[in-house]
Chains A and B, each alone.
Chain A
Amino acid sequence: MYSKLSDKKIILSLNKAPEFEEFLSVIKVTKGTYAAGILWGIYRNIFVYSSELRSEYKRYYSVEYTSFEEYLFKKVGIQVKDLKFDLKYVFLFKPSHLLIDEMFDDNYLDDVLNVLGGEFEN
């Protein structure tokens, strides 16, 4: 599941962080093609140029903050209602790829995030 934050960043929680090949497979795109190149840009925006907050919490902040929720609120500055905090991965990113940038009306951010949620949330 995902939430849109006020600074246009997205917080996305999943139970699995897909490899790029898995991402291609779910979207039914052949590796090494032009469409795969487009999806690499989107994948990179979400999974590479992002922060995975749960691992950052575990590695650096679990002594300082007693819970992940407290770390999110006090350190990262976000409070997200109804976020499934029990999921393994919590990505924070700002959509900048033109096909998922909400600056344009005709963007596919929700579609991409719904595909990811449907496939990798459980």
Chain B
Amino acid sequence: MSWEVNLKIKSDFISNSSSTSFIYIARKDFTKEAFYEMIGVSPESPLSHMFEKLYNVLSNGIQGGEHLNESRLKDLTNDFTNDVIQKAKQALLDGEQVVKGSLDSETDGPESFLCMDVFEIKSQDLYINGFDNYW
């Protein structure tokens, strides 16, 4: 009897990747200026490009996200608190858009950072909740 054994050898690092989601509620467009104001960054910041990248990550997540209606809100109960769901429900009644965006931990540093960070950022017209982002 002869044996042939094939082994795969992985030479680079092995990671445990994951994705998380966030809820975006808005009555106005999500612009870079609005984001900077929400998070407290001056446009003249010497690290403006770093915050701009975070904006782009969230903006892409929103653009590629799922627009929710009331029937889809119940699917959020496993990941988001009742407060967030109620806020989303009220936003839909008020004619605002509610989007569920996603973040991936295996892309680049800024997206991985947001994917693992637990955050809630808000202004009068915009609300982003990343409470789902616990590992």
Query: Could you tell me if A27 and B39 are in contact, using CB atoms closer than 8 angstroms?
Result: no
Which residues of chain B in 99-135 are interfacial with respect to chain A, using CB atoms and an 8 Å cutoff? 108-110, 112-113, 116-117, 119, 121
Query: Could you tell me if B38 and A34 are in contact, using CB atoms closer than 8 angstroms?
Result: yes
Across the interface, which residues of B come within 8 angstroms of A30, CB to CB?
40-41
Encode contact with A along B44-74: 1 for CB under 8 Å, 0 otherwise. Answer: 1111011101100000000000000000000
Contact A27 B46, CB 8 Å, known A34-B39, A35-B40, A106-B53: yes
Interface membership of A48, Cβ < 8 A: no
How many B residues touch the partner, as a band? 20 to 34
Q: How many residue pairs, one in A and one in B, have C-beta atoms under 8 Å apart?
A: 67
Interface membership of B42, Cβ < 8 A: yes
Across the interface, which residues of B come within 8 angstroms of A7, CB to CB?
none
Query: Could you tell me if B45 and A106 are in contact, using CB atoms closer than 8 angstroms?
Result: no
Across the interface, which residues of A come within 8 angstroms of B119, CB to CB?
34, 37
Query: Could you tell me if A99 and B40 are in contact, using CB atoms closer than 8 angstroms?
Result: no
Chain A residue with minimal CB distance to B108? A106
Query: Could you tell me if A34 and B40 are in contact, using CB atoms closer than 8 angstroms?
Result: yes
List chain B positions with a Cβ less than 8 A from chain A: 38-42, 44-47, 49-51, 53-54, 108-110, 112-113, 116-117, 119, 121
List chain A positions with a Cβ less than 8 A from chain B: 26-38, 97-99, 101, 103-108, 111-112, 115
What are 14 A-B pairs at a CB distance below 8 A? A33-B39, A33-B41, A34-B40, A34-B119, A34-B121, A35-B40, A35-B41, A98-B112, A103-B109, A111-B47, A111-B49, A111-B50, A112-B47, A115-B47
